[in-house]
Chain A
Amino acid sequence: MKFCIRNPQKRAPRLGILKNIEGRTNIEIETPVVLLHTQGGHIPHVTHEVFKLVSKEPQILQIPLVSMHNFQETMEYYNGTISEFIGNKDSLTCLTLQDPSNLTKQGHHVKEKVPIWTKNGKVLYDSEMYMNIVESFKPDMYYLLSDGDTNKTSAPKRISKAVEHTIIFNNQCLERHKKSNILKKAFVMAPIAGGYCLKSREKCIQAILKNTNELGGFLIDGLHNNGPEVEFLPFEEVRDVVEYVIKSVPQEKLCSVQGCWNPVNVLKLVQQGIDMFDTSYCRILTERSAAMIFPIDNTEEADSFEINLRQSKYVDDFTPIMFSCQCLACSKYSRGYIHHLLTVQELLAPVLIMIHNIHHYLRFFKKIRECIQNNTLSDLENRISEQYKNHQEKVLSAKTEEEPRRTYPRNDVGDVE
């Protein structure tokens, strides 16, 4: 797999293509791209078959190792790739360590090991164990192991440990990668640690740059500890670090971030030169019964940024989530029906909401690429940022007034007969 920039004369925003994909030479993926966030090999609530009703375009599945750790032994005995194993051989896969939709527990570090929190508790990964799993999964893309446990409030000591660990992991994993026949064609990306300290970021980048030839891209890691709170991270907080890293890494390489960035921050990150995101934001919304309705095309109008289908006003609203949306949920099902499914806790409610949210978010990224091409990205930003601001104020004030009724995350299985 190769990453090529289509408008190299300009550092940001930029358009790129992932191509020459091993075994899929007919497929090209355009950037800025959004990876489909999965848990246990599936987009939450949406089976691969149902996703085919949402989009038939080629996609990259983001596979968080933490949600697949229980398959570690199984995969040693399995001959195929992870995309075959999870029942979706047509998709590309990108292996990452943590699940961006779930808050990652902080601390619990051990020398040369990084903790992940599986459903059966803490598991410590070192470079060897990690690369074993990468070899057995055979993903199309993967990140080297890293210590991303930093955020805005991290103490200098934690930051320097994170950098120190990440440099060691990067070197150990790359050594293994170079020797691996199985991973010869895999697209490797190096996470850059260092929290909000530019000096630490510099140190991490300098160490990694020695291996530039082996790398397809980078990840700006350690900006947050994942989970829903990333949605409300003020962009001003991350601006300097993102700008610094993008400026410091070779510009022909792909540059990615992970997490539930809201659409306005996605646009700002794109304008800084980020090429790759994920759909964990769709899960965050779906779990709180919210559907995105922010306008994407300039012909679209919306009276709010998102709607919460749990609200009783939707009980006899037989209109779709969004009139201008062509997705399966909007073309066949009403707000009232989804509201009913939510009140009786039926499994189909999050299925329909997720179908719409994923469809809307994919459409948003398509629009971003179109706007970069036409030089109209700021129009798109103007269209949605005002609405987002009002929305965010509403959500944040509601949050402080009353605690949410449901704890997050919810993976329960209803049974009502």
Chain B
Amino acid sequence: MTSFSAKHKPLPLVFNVLSECRTTKARVGKMVLPHGQVDTPVFMPVGTQGTLKGMLPEQLEKLGLQIMLANTYHLGTRPGPDVLKKAGGLHKFMNWNGALLTDSGGFQMVSLLKLAEITEEGVKFQSLNQQKAEVMLTPEHSIEIQNAIGADIIMQTTRWLDRCLKSHANPETQSIFPIVQGTLYEDLRVISANDHIKRDVNGYAIGGLSGGESKDDFWKVVHLCTDILPKDKPRYLMGVGFAVDLVVCCALGVDMFDCVFPTRTARFGCALIMTGQVNLKKKKYAKDFNPIDKDCTCNTCQKYTRAYLHGVVTSYPIACHLLTEHNLAFQLRLMKMIRDSIHENTFPKFVADFMLNLHPDKDYPTWIQNSLKAVNIELL
């Protein structure tokens, strides 16, 4: 077994593929990071500001969460790298002993585009913070913040990758994943992916998707990238977290995912189940004394009825906490089912059953039919 307490020079990431699906590109792996092991394929919930939406790290540990994401841009603004350094890094600051991954701040370049000016040097943001007028996020600055945060895995995009690798201060404890870009242009994706695999990095991310493109385009890009990226390193598909997308993309060979959706939708009163969502605001749940999901073992499903949750959602913060816990448990359970079925070599059946459950009338969307056909899965 690979261990971090190895006597030799420590590695910030060791990835081992434990089983591979014989039909699809899916695989089960174990990633060993400075702050613990991560079973892949993994879903990483998003703790933007150094906290996961009202949940205590004590609760997250109990749920079995191994890794979460934090945002470089937000933490770089508040509390800022100086406070994070003084605190001894984000792990200590937020009392989270599991693994952490930080993005590059590049996504905020897109989501806060109105506030950003992009030049060769870097990205200049009009700060959301009242104290400072502008924030310049250069690749060096992004790495400085990410070093101060101290996450196990940090991200950087192609154009600035070499500037980042050069200014990276903690190569022994933090891995930089380059991000394959190229939107929906297959030729650009091929160039980007081939460019990255030449470099000495511990894993790769696929970025620039989940931005509203059609699903028919989306899966083809993922399929193309996972074909090029080496099998012995983890592949992270950024911003993807709907259950159906997770199932398909695991079949396409992706190992890591993140998305704000499960925690965000919880705060709007929506609970996730295998066949979709339960919008607890709806009146029809007022006398429904069943749990959200009778197969779910989370604390919310053990103790609370839909009727109770219906009466508190959108009124009290505790309702957000209860639904967030359920939705996190749902994502973790789905990923475990995927891993177990790959291990037991029943993954194709799992995928087919999952899709049939979702579409009992077999009116499967074409992108699901085509993407799964590409990895040899026949739907029921």
Q: Is A175 an interface residue (CB 8 A)?
A: no
- Minimum CB distance partner of B87 in chain A: A318
With contacts A77-B287, A78-B307 known, is A346 near B49, CB below 8 A? yes
Q: Is A39 an interface residue (CB 8 A)?
A: yes
Task: Report the separation of the CA atoms of residues A413 and B317 in the bound assembly, to the nearest whole angstrom.
Answer: 6
Q: Is B127 an interface residue (CB 8 A)?
A: no
Segment among B33-41, B78-86, B193-201 that sits at the interface with chain A:
B78-86
With contacts A40-B318, A119-B315, A411-B315 known, is A417 near B54, CB below 8 A? no
Are A337 and B316 neighbours in the complex by a CB distance under 8 Å? no
Task: Report the separation of the CA atoms of residues A87 and B312 in the bound assembly, to the nearest whole angstrom.
Answer: 12
Q: Give per-residue flags for A115-126: 1 if the beta carbon is below 8 A from chain B beta carbons, else 0.
A: 000010000000
Residue in contact with A417 in the complex, picked from B46, B311, B317, B321, CB distance below 8 Å: B46
Segment among A68-76, A139-147, A363-371 that sits at the interface with chain B:
A68-76
Task: Report the separation of the CA atoms of residues A78 and B54 in the bound assembly, to the nearest whole angstrom.
Answer: 30
Are A85 and B308 neighbours in the complex by a CB distance under 8 Å? yes
Q: Is A347 an interface residue (CB 8 A)?
A: yes
Q: Is A41 an interface residue (CB 8 A)?
A: yes
Residues 199-254 of A contacting B (Cβ, < 8 Å):
none
Segment among A47-55, A56-64, A91-99 that sits at the interface with chain B:
A47-55
Are B74 and A416 neighbours in the complex by a CB distance under 8 Å? yes
Residues 65-103 of B contacting A (Cβ, < 8 Å):
71, 74, 78-79, 82-83, 86-87, 93-95
* Shortest Cβ distance from residue B16 to the other chain A in the assembled complex, whole angstroms: 32
- Minimum CB distance partner of A79 in chain B: B289
Q: Is B339 an interface residue (CB 8 A)?
A: no
* Shortest Cβ distance from residue A258 to the other chain B in the assembled complex, whole angstroms: 20
Are B286 and A87 neighbours in the complex by a CB distance under 8 Å? no
Q: Is B192 an interface residue (CB 8 A)?
A: no
CB-defined contacts of A49 to chain B, threshold 8 Å: 59, 299, 303
Max chain B C-beta neighbours (<10 A), residue from A40, A42, A340? A340
CB-defined contacts of A316 to chain B, threshold 8 Å: 82-83, 86-87
Task: Report the separation of the CA atoms of residues A413 and B318 in the bound assembly, to the nearest whole angstrom.
Answer: 10
Task: Report the separation of the CA atoms of residues A87 and B304 in the bound assembly, to the nearest whole angstrom.
Answer: 5
Residue in contact with B56 in the complex, picked from A71, A74, A336, A348, CB distance below 8 Å: A348
* Shortest Cβ distance from residue A50 to the other chain B in the assembled complex, whole angstroms: 6
* Shortest Cβ distance from residue A237 to the other chain B in the assembled complex, whole angstroms: 33
Q: Is B53 an interface residue (CB 8 A)?
A: yes
Are B311 and A70 neighbours in the complex by a CB distance under 8 Å? yes
- Minimum CB distance partner of B111 in chain A: A417
Size class of A's contact patch? 35 or more
Are B316 and A44 neighbours in the complex by a CB distance under 8 Å? yes
Task: Report the separation of the CA atoms of residues A42 and B54 in the bound assembly, to the nearest whole angstrom.
Answer: 15
Residues 47-64 of B contacting A (Cβ, < 8 Å):
48-51, 53-59
CB-defined contacts of A332 to chain B, threshold 8 Å: 57-58, 95
Are B58 and A328 neighbours in the complex by a CB distance under 8 Å? yes
Task: Report the separation of the CA atoms of residues A74 and B284 in the bound assembly, to the nearest whole angstrom.
Answer: 11
With contacts A49-B59, A78-B289, A416-B74 known, is A337 near B94, CB below 8 A? yes
CB-defined contacts of B308 to chain A, threshold 8 Å: 41, 71, 85-87
Are B74 and A344 neighbours in the complex by a CB distance under 8 Å? yes
Q: Give per-residue flags for A24-51: 1 if the beta carbon is below 8 A from chain B beta carbons, else 0.
A: 0000000000000001111011111110
CB-defined contacts of A295 to chain B, threshold 8 Å: none
Residue in contact with A413 in the complex, picked from B55, B58, B320, CB distance below 8 Å: B320
Q: Give per-residue flags for B95-139: 1 if the beta carbon is below 8 A from chain A beta carbons, else 0.
A: 100000000000000000000000000000000000000000000
Are B79 and A336 neighbours in the complex by a CB distance under 8 Å? yes
Residues 325-357 of A contacting B (Cβ, < 8 Å):
328, 332-334, 336-337, 340-341, 343-344, 346-348, 350-351
CB-defined contacts of B55 to chain A, threshold 8 Å: 348
Task: Report the separation of the CA atoms of residues A365 and B82 in the bound assembly, to the nearest whole angstrom.
Answer: 41
Max chain A C-beta neighbours (<10 A), residue from B59, B260, B267, B312? B312
Are A347 and B53 neighbours in the complex by a CB distance under 8 Å? yes
Residues 284-302 of B contacting A (Cβ, < 8 Å):
286-287, 289, 299
Are A74 and B264 neighbours in the complex by a CB distance under 8 Å? no
17 A-B residue pairs with CB within 8 Å: A40-B312, A48-B303, A49-B299, A50-B59, A50-B321, A77-B289, A78-B307, A87-B303, A328-B58, A334-B93, A337-B87, A337-B94, A347-B51, A347-B320, A351-B321, A413-B320, A415-B267
Q: Would you list the 5 A-B pairs with minimal beta carbon distance, nearest first?
A: A347-B54, A87-B303, A42-B318, A40-B312, A348-B51
Taking Cβ atoms with an 8 Å cutoff, the residues of B that contact A are: 46, 48-51, 53-59, 71, 74, 78-79, 82-83, 86-87, 93-95, 260, 264, 267, 286-287, 289, 299, 303-305, 307-308, 311-312, 314-322
